[in-house]
A and B are shown apart, each in its own frame.
Chain A
Amino acid sequence: MATLTIKGLSKRYGKTPAVEDFDLHVEDKEFVVLVGPSGCGKTTVLNSVAGLFDIDEGEIWFGDELVNAPARKVFKIPQKREVAMVFQDYAIYPHMTVFGNIAFPLSIRRTSKQEIETRVGKAARLLEIDHLLDRKPKALSGGQRQRIALGRAMVRNPKIFLLDEPLANLDAKLRVHARMELKKLQQELGVTTIFVTHDQVEAMTMGDRIAVMNNGRLEQIGTPSELYTEPANTFVAKFIGSPPMNLMEGSLVASDRGPRIDLGFSPSPHVLSPSLVERIRGAGITEITLGIRPEHITIGREHLENSVEATVEYAELTGKEVNVYLDLGGEPLIAISGSGQDLEKDERVWITLDSRRIHLFDRTSGRRIE
Chain B
Amino acid sequence: MKLPKMVGLNPKRKEKLLTALIVLPPLLSVFFFFYCFSGWNFFISLTDWEGFLPTQNLVGLRNYASLFHDPLFWTSLQNNLLLIVVFVPGVIVIGLFLAILLDRKVRGEGVFRTIYLLPFALSFVVTAALWAWMYSPRVGTINVILEKVGLGFLRANWITDPNIVLYCIIAALIWQFAGYSAIIFLAGIRSIPVSQIRAAQVDGARTFTLYRRIVLPQLRPSFVTAFIIFMCFALKAFDFIWVLNRGGPGYSSHILGIAMYKETFGFDRFAYGASYATVILMLSLVIVVPFLWRVYRKDRP
Query: Which residues of A line the B interface, CB within 8 A?
Result: 64-67, 72, 74, 76-77, 79-80
Contact = CB atoms under 8 A, between A and B. Distances in A.
Contacts of B7: 76, 80
Contacts of A79: 8
B12 A67 contact: no
Interface string B1-26: 11110011000100000000000000
B8 A64 contact: no
A79 B7 CA distance: 11
A80 B3 CA distance: 14
B268 to A, nearest CB: 55
Contact of B12 (A65, A66, A77): A77
A80 B2 contact: no
B4 A66 contact: yes
Contacts, number: 21
Contacts of A66: 1-4
Contacts of B2: 64-66
A208 B7 CA distance: 33
Query: Which label, helix, strand, loop or mixed, suits the secondary structure of the B interface?
Result: loop
B18 to A, nearest CB: 15
21 contacts: A64-B1, A64-B2, A65-B2, A65-B3, A65-B4, A66-B1, A66-B2, A66-B3, A66-B4, A67-B4, A72-B3, A74-B3, A74-B4, A76-B4, A76-B7, A76-B8, A77-B8, A77-B12, A79-B8, A80-B7, A80-B8
B223 to A, nearest CB: 32
Nearest to A68: B4
Nearest to A63: B2
Interface residues of B, number: 7
B6 to A, nearest CB: 11
A35 to B, nearest CB: 31
Contacts of B8: 76-77, 79-80
A74 B3 CA distance: 9
A66 B1 CA distance: 8
A77 B2 CA distance: 17
Contacts of B3: 65-66, 72, 74
Which 10 pairs of residues, A with B, have the shortest CB-CB distance? A77-B8, A80-B8, A65-B2, A66-B3, A64-B2, A76-B8, A64-B1, A76-B4, A77-B12, A76-B7
B1 to A, nearest CB: 6
Nearest to A65: B2
Contacts of A77: 8, 12
Nearest to A75: B8
A65 B3 CA distance: 6
Contacts of A74: 3-4
Contacts of B1: 64, 66
A51 B162 CA distance: 70
A76 B7 CA distance: 7
Contacts of A64: 1-2
A130 to B, nearest CB: 34
Nearest to B1: A64
A317 B94 CA distance: 61
Given A65-B2, A76-B8, A77-B12, 11 more contacts: A64-B2, A65-B3, A66-B1, A66-B2, A66-B4, A67-B4, A72-B3, A74-B4, A76-B4, A79-B8, A80-B8
Which among A64, A72, A77 has the highest number of chain B CB atoms within 10 Å? A77
Nearest to A79: B8
Contacts of A76: 4, 7-8
B166 to A, nearest CB: 52
A26 to B, nearest CB: 18
A42 B1 CA distance: 28
B199 to A, nearest CB: 28
Contacts of B12: 77
B28 to A, nearest CB: 27
Nearest to B9: A77
A64 B4 CA distance: 10
Interface string B179-205: 000000000000000000000000000
A72 B1 CA distance: 14
A50 to B, nearest CB: 14
B8 to A, nearest CB: 5
A209 B162 CA distance: 86
A215 B36 CA distance: 48
A214 B260 CA distance: 64
B299 to A, nearest CB: 13
